[in-house]
Amino acid sequence: MSAPHSETHVDSVGTYVKVLLALMFCTVLTTWVAYIDLGAFSTVIALSIASVKMLLVAMFFMHVRHSSKLTKLVVVGALMWLGILLVLTMTDFVTRNM
Amino acid sequence: MDTAVAQERENYLNASHGLKSWLLTKDHKRIGLLYLFTITLFFFIGGAFATLIRIELLSPQGNMVSSETYNKLFTMHAVAMIFFFMIPSIPAVLGNFFLPIMIGARDLAFPKLNLLSWYLLVIGGAFSLFAMIAGGVDTGWTFYTPYSTTYSNSWVIATALGIFIAGFSSILTGLNFIVTVHRMRAPGMTWFRMPLFVWANYATSLIQVLGTPVLAVTIVLLFVERVFQLGIFDPARGGDPVLFQHLFWFYSHPAVYIMVLPGMGVISEIISTFSRKTVFGYAFIAFSSVAIAVLGFLVWGHHMFVSGQSLYASMVFSFLSYFVAIPSAIKVFNWTATLYKGSISYQTPMLYAFGFIGLFTIGGLTGLFLAALGMDIHVTDTYFVVAHFHYIMVGGTMMAYLGGMHFWWPKMTGRMYPEGWAKLSSLVIFLGFNLTFFPQFILGYLGMPRRYHLYPAEFQVLNVMSTAGASILAVGYAMPMIYFIWSLKYGKVAPMNPWGATGLEWRTASPPPVHNFEQTPIVTHEAYDYTSVPAEEIEVV
């Protein structure tokens, strides 16, 4: 089965190298931040950096940027489902001592 | 049609020979049969554990096995039945075999991935089987922490690893179905001409793809805590044991719908065929499958009302749980409306469909009892819960699976099963099932907890009834096993369309050729349009 035309677009090698460097920078940043005591914000920052890395991988390495609307819908759907997991779990954790 | 000629024609069964041709096959029909053999093995393993449980519960003293062994028996019964029988049952056997044919495709979108899915199930099953033989696992199929990560001395990791691997089988099957439905439909097979079995499997696939990775993550976290003592769920190390339950049930509640949704698809096919009527409210049934798939992800907290979960969260989950009843009820009402003024014939698949509707309704309605906070706290972890989910799993899914097996057996094998024996076995199963599980509702309401083999003497009569029912049920399950095998050699040769049904699978030979159709079918009618079936193709038996 042939792939749809929209999925055949490939970024330049330069772009991939830049994304790779950005990912490596984020990894170093995560490690560096882990040694600084920011209280509850340590987790927030670590997860934020991880989210950025995830987006970079999905958009560039997984070609979501150039994919069909259906593929983008799949990605958004998966993120929504992650949202369901987090939000409904938090309805418990946030209100447990109320 | 000359049936002798039909038998000699090349089909997927006789196109190639030898073990290698099966173990390396990319034909979705053969892979469906490979799944059939595999899950049947696990059904008998799970059934053997159930037999031991029921024999133990004949007497209140708990005098056959130790408490530790009993813990292992109910755990391994559930692991075998849920992960290696129920979840792959209808999608991987009947879905694999019929989904491509029903949409007019030559195969699934990724045939090699399909074969890999089967190997993953076998490898996962081998790990879990090893754990069972090596000493078993005693945590319950839910693997609740901290017991599973800190205290259990049984084969937790091997079992969990088996489930982890089998999970990828489930994900890949779901992915394959989704892509196949999107990309491989025959000309004219629009979304709203697809049989409802396809819709049901599509919705199931969405759950498999969206939910199963969370189970995999949960198992990895369990592994990390048990092996490396990292604090994830253990409060002594800063973890939270209730987090495990959130993650586990985020998958495992939707998993209930992985098990029952395909069964609902089977019932839609059977009800329409044997009442010879278009399914009433086709679009409602189709969308209700998707609605169940989505809503099923919003209700997991109703398994956790006594876990220490906040009251606010419990109220939210209780409220949301009621919503799942709506699409389920839409299906039941529409099936009933389909029967109205239908030309009903009481063939074996239809008997199973009747069984499904009645038993699923009891299972579903008692689920509403359990979604109500006050009622649930009274019956939490009692036999009421055991009875409830067995009415869904065994009364629902198992009835649909057997109904589907009888419905499509002529197409799969080219042979008819013996109708009289089949009707008898369906009645034996129905009676045996109800005698096994209805007393458990009463036991649970009276307060008998699940997962104990010692119980007060006043519960013995109901337990003896339940065990007697299980014996009848076992006989009922053995019967199809015997006559299906018998029919392969002695059964009447099946015509192309023995039931006068409308689906594309009935427009090709029995058994189908390797590529399903001599020519790619062009679809010009809605699903279940009985005027579209040429009279000369019907040879109703």
Confidence band for B538, pLDDT divided at 50, 70 and 90: low
Q: What share of chain A is helix, strand, coil (3-state, %, to 5)?
A: 75, 0, 25
B509 — contact with chain A (CB < 8 Å)?
A: no
Mean pLDDT (chain B) is 95
Q: What is the pLDDT of residue A97?
A: 84
- Strand pairing partners for B519? none
- Domain assignment present for residue A38? The answer is yes
Q: Residue B4: pLDDT above 60?
A: no
pLDDT over 90 at B155, yes or no: yes
Instruction: For residues A18 and A60, state if they share a domain.
Output: yes
Which residues are CB-neighbours of A72 under 8 A, at least 6 positions away? A64
For chain B, which domains are there? 29-530 (1.20.210.10)
Q: Do residues A26 and A60 both lie within one domain?
A: yes
Nearest to B149 by CA among B227, B239, B205: B227
Same domain as A22, residue A40: yes
Q: How far apart (Å, rounded) are the C-alpha atoms in residues B397 and B89? A: 9
* Whether residue A78 sits in one domain with residue A46: no
Judged against a pLDDT cut of 50, whether residue A1 lies above it is answered with no
> In this structure, are A25 and A58 located in the same domain?
yes
pLDDT at B9: 86
Q: Which residue of A has its CA nearest to B182?
A: A70
DSSP one-letter string for B86-127 = IHHIIIIIIIHHHHHHHTT-SS-S-HHHHHHHHHHHHHHHHH
Which residue range forms the structural domain that includes residue A83?
67-98
Residue A54 lies in a domain: yes
Q: Is the pLDDT of residue A70 over 60?
A: yes
Q: Which of B183, B243, B313 sits opposite A91 (nearest CB)?
A: B313
**Scanning every residue of chain A, which has its alpha carbon at the shortest distance from the alpha carbon of B295?**
A84
pLDDT of res. A3: 44
Question: pLDDT tens across B506-519, in order?
Answer: 999 999 999 999 99
The answer to whether the CB atoms of B310 and A92 lie below 8 A apart is yes
Size of interface A-B (CB pairs under 8 A): 49
Chain B nearest CA to A68, separation (Å):
13
Q: Which amino acid is at B53?
A: I
CB contact under 8 A, A91 and B109: no
- A-chain residue closest to B110, CA distance: A1
Domain count of chain A?
2
C-alpha B162/C-alpha B37 separation (Å) is 18
**What does the H/E/C string look like for B459-484?**
HHHHHHHHHHHHHHHHHHHHHHHHHH
The answer, for A84 touching chain B at a CB cutoff of 8 Å, is yes
Query: How high is the pLDDT of residue A2?
Result: 42
R_g over Cα of chain B: 23
Q: How far apart are CA B205 and CA A16, in angstroms?
A: 33
What is Dmax (Cα atoms) for chain B? 74
A20 and A48 share one domain:
yes
- Residue B159's pLDDT is 97
Q: What's the confidence (pLDDT) of residue A6?
A: 47
- The answer to whether A70 contacts B313, with C-beta atoms less than 8 Å apart, is no
Which pLDDT value is given to residue B335? 98
> How far does Cα A94 stand from its chain's mean position?
24
Q: Choose among B283, B253, B252, B247: nearest CA to B268.
A: B283
Give the C-alpha separation, A74 to B175, whole Å.
Answer: 12
Name the residue among A60, A61, A59, A56 with its Cα closest to residue A25: A56
| B34-60 pLDDT, tens digit each | 999 999 999 999 999 999 999 999 999
What tens digit of pLDDT does each residue of B369-417 get? 999 999 999 999 999 999 999 999 999 999 999 999 999 999 999 999 9
Is residue A7 included in any domain, yes or no? Answer: no
Q: Is residue A1 part of a domain?
A: no
Do A24 and A44 lie in a common domain?
yes
Give the pLDDT confidence score for residue A10 in this predicted structure: 77
pLDDT at B100 over 60: yes
B298 touching A (Cβ < 8 Å): yes
Is residue B442 over pLDDT 50?
yes
Residues A45 and A84 in one domain: no
Domain presence at residue A50: yes
> Does residue B534 carry a pLDDT above 90?
no
With respect to residue A79, please indicate whether it lies within any of the assigned structural domains: yes
pLDDT at B178: 97
> What pLDDT, on a 0 to 100 scale, did the predictor assign at position B539?
57
Confidence of residue B527 (pLDDT cuts 50, 70, 90): very high
Is residue A5 situated within a structural domain?
Answer: no
Residues A50, A21: one domain?
Answer: yes
Per-residue pLDDT reduced to its tens digit, B237-274 = 999 999 999 999 999 999 999 999 999 999 999 999 99
B191-200 mean pLDDT: 98
Same domain, A50 and A71: no
